[in-house]
Amino acid sequence: METTLILAIVAGIAILLVLILKFKINAYLALLIASIATGIFAGLNPNAIIDTVKEGMGSTLSSVATIVGLGAMFGAILETSGGAKAIANFLIGKFGLKNAPLAMVIAGFLIAIPVFFDVAFIILVPMIYALQRQSGKSLLLYAIPLLAGLAITHAFIPPTPGPIAVADIIGAELGWVILIGFLVGIPTAICSGLLFGKYIAKRIFVAAPDQMQEQTNEKLPNIYLILTIIGIPIVLILLRTTLTSGILGTLDERINQVILLIGHPFSALIIANLLAWYFLGIRLGYTKKELFTITQKSLMPAGTIILLTGAGGVFKQTLINTGAGEMLASSLHNLGFPILLFAFIAAAIVRIIQGSSTVSMITAAGLVSPLLASVAYSPVQMACLVIAIASGASIFSHVNDSGFWLVGQYLGITEKESFKSWTMMTTILAITGMITVSILFIIL
């Protein structure tokens, strides 16, 4: 029986990778096919397989779809209003040219909370061009810190889709994921962004392209308003987490109910959307029709992420319903293999083979989730597992990752230089993140 289940898991993952890599099948469809194939190999009957698909899809999307959709609309309004550029301009003004790399790390860290990685990078590329021309130093001195900040937040901190999907699949609380993500993100940003950025900039000189000039005459929204609107949903979610963990002690029941409602990610992001709609939309002169178009377009890429996450939930449920997850958990326990390391390695292997960090996170979460049924981990440790998966899914971005080509194109560097800079940065990010979260997993 155990041999059959092991072969079912191996066959399912192999089918997933072959469909994506060789036949270029969309990851959503590939995950569904791999899940059904795993169920067949493990001996589930047809009705059980269909019920598993329904159960996995429904249980996962019940929360993820709402959060990802709200997050996408919020980010679109922030992007269109110029909020991302306002943050970067403010930080550079405060830190000065000498400390501009630090400003870029912080800017990337903040901006990627509501805005997708690739969009945020494209928005801020003219700014690092300007810094390079002004300083005469390598473009990588500013690009690597910016990319590190963006990549860390994109992988570690909700409401970005990756950590939301993983947290939902394995059952971690978003508030704790945010806290652990921030704690792990700080040393990770220092190592992969500031220290490595300074190192590689001395070895590879890259000049900013002459043909792309930054815009300097656009009116940007107030920075303090931007930071407030971004911070409100995070503070509300964290407030709810502190209440449910007992840190706040005993409060009036009516206050408890209010915090539980507005601190839920659904409510917190609805509030953030309404604030952004009014202060970054209506107050800045956007019409209601324009805002409708902006938010409508933002849901198209969100739809892909939502469906992909749902398919990942199906894969997880297949492992649970076939008993393969329980068998894998027992085997790892008997070997004394740390679950945190397994989570990291599983995500890293899928990431290196097929490229997509999102697919890697979802696949690894599906493998890890069944292992948690027999062990009681604390909310903090569950959050650490999310970050371990996110770290593994960030490692060694190379030619099968669209980010590799995006970065190379906008920085004007060769593939070899991309490997030495961008690929190395993502690897340092992943390893530093894993080491840091392992320490937190042990001591917290």
For residue 215, give every residue at least 6 positions away whose Cβ sits within 8 Å of its Cβ, in sequence order, or none.
126
| Placement of tokens 């009957």 in the chain | 45
Specify the higher pLDDT residue, 253 or 202.
Answer: 202
Q: 79 with 115: CB under 8 angstroms?
A: yes
pLDDT band at 308 (very low <50, low <70, confident <90, very high): confident
At 258, give phi and psi (nearest 5°). -65, -45
Q: How many residues does the chain have?
A: 444
Are the C-beta atoms of 142 and 185 separated by less than 8 Å? no
User: Looking at 213-217, 264-268, 329-333, 395-399, which range is the least confident one?
Assistant: 213-217
Predicted pLDDT at 348 = 94
Please check the confidence at residue 347 and state whether its pLDDT lies above 80: yes
Indicate whether 325 pLDDT > 80: no
6-10, 155-159, 260-264, 328-332: segment of lowest average pLDDT? 328-332
pLDDT band for position 175 (50/70/90)? Answer: very high
Cβ neighbourhood burial of 47 (10 Å; 0-12, 13-18, 19+): exposed
Residue 401: CA count within 13 A, CB half-sphere? 27
**Per-residue buried b or exposed e for 411-424, using 16+ beta carbons within 10 Å of the residue's own CB:** bebeeebbbbbbbb
Helix (H) or strand (E) holding 113: none
| Helix (H) or strand (E) segment spanning residue 323 | none
Pairwise CA distance, residues 135 & 97, whole Å: 8
> For residue 435, what are the contacts with CB-CB under 8 A and spacing of at least 6?
none
Name the band, by pLDDT with cuts 50, 70 and 90, for residue 40.
very high
pLDDT at 211 over 80: no
Q: In the 8-state DSSP scheme, what is residue 208?
A: P
Q: Is 340 exposed, middle or buried (0-12, 13-18, 19+ CB in 10 A)?
A: buried
- Residue 217: pLDDT band with limits 50, 70, 90: very low
Q: DSSP state, 193?
A: I
Could you give the CA distance from residue 303 to residue 311 in angstroms, rounded to a whole number? 12
Q: Which of 180, 239, 235, 152 is closest to 382 using CA atoms?
A: 180
Helix ranges (H only) for 112-159 are: 117-135, 140-156
Sketch the domain layout of the chain as residue ranges: 2-443
**CA–CA gap between residue 169 and residue 140 (Å, rounded):** 37
Looking at residue 216, its pLDDT comes to 47
Taking a C-beta distance cutoff of 8 angstroms, is the pair 299, 73 a contact? Answer: yes
The rounded distance, in Å, linking the Cα atoms of 433 and 437 is 6
- The more confident residue out of 426 and 310 is 426
**What's the pLDDT at 304?**
83
What is residue 333's predicted lDDT score, i.e. its pLDDT?
A: 65
Mean pLDDT of the chain, nearest integer: 90
The string of pLDDT tens digits covering residues 382-405 is: 999 999 999 999 999 987 788 898
133/194 Cα distance (integer angstroms): 19
Average pLDDT (100-117) is 92
Tokens for 125, please give them.
Answer: 């590329």
Is the model more confident about 434 or about 245?
Answer: 434
Mean pLDDT of 217-222: 77
Residue 409 binned pLDDT confidence (cut-offs 50, 70, 90): confident
pLDDT digit string (tens) for 191-208?
999 999 999 999 999 998
Q: Supply φ then ψ for residue 60, to 5 degrees.
A: -75, -45
Q: Residue 179 in contact with residue 238, Cβ under 8 Å? A: yes
**Residue 301 and residue 403: Cα distance in Å, rounded?**
16
What is the mean predicted confidence (pLDDT) over 279-291?
95
What whole-number distance in Å separates Cα of residue 376 and Cα of residue 171? 12
More confident residue, 268 or 84: 268
Residue with tokens 């429904």, as numbered in its chain:
58
Q: What is the mean pLDDT of residues 11-36?
A: 90
- Residues contacting 57, CB < 8 A, separation 6+: 310, 311, 313, 314
d(CA 238, CA 419): 38
Compute the average pLDDT of residues 213-218. Answer: 50
- d(C-alpha 145, C-alpha 411), whole Å: 13
Question: Which residue, 319, 345, 317, is CA-closest to 9?
Answer: 319
Cα gap 239→262, rounded to integer Å: 9
Tokens representing residue 87 in the block: 């943050």
Per-residue pLDDT averaged across 197-222, rounded?
79
Residue 345 burial (CB < 10 Å; 0-12/13-18/19+)? Answer: middle
Which of 51-65, 94-108, 244-258 shows the lowest mean pLDDT across its residues?
Answer: 244-258
